[in-house]
Structure 1
Amino acid sequence: MTSKLNTAAAGAATRLRNEGVDIRFVDPVPAFKGHAVCDPTPYLNSLSLEDGKTFHPNVFGQALYADLVEQAMVG
């Protein structure tokens, strides 16, 4: 599902960029490699039926996203 979502988001960003919108798609998947839910240092929350944060980035994942966005804005 992640691949399909990223493909759709990248396509939408490309279409908008072609229309003059200053937007970029940053694929976070490579940066999250080795940090999946079951890895020793996960960057995503595991399954939880109580808090609604299932598979959303944890504090480490949020920091990684911030770095990726900053890199895209600078570079």
Structure 2
Amino acid sequence: MSDLWLSTLKTATPQEGYELAIKLSRMGIKYTQPSDEVRQKLRDDYANNADSLTAVSQVVATNFQTVAAANNYWNERT
């Protein structure tokens, strides 16, 4: 993967920050397993597994913490 897709962690709102956190999480999977075919085959395994879904939520939460910190938690003050 050589496409530049992440130019900044700065977002205007917490909602945009959360969406970026999801994108970061999805791209992490794509970089780890670049085969669309393999990812599609594995999707059924984790889509119905509560532990896998919890793990995904944890990754998104960690990425959201990173984005929030990069945006000074969207505080107006500097």
Same fold (TM over 0.5): no
TM-score, with length taken from structure 1: 0.38
Q: RCO higher in 1 or 2 (8 Å CA, sep ≥ 6)?
A: 2
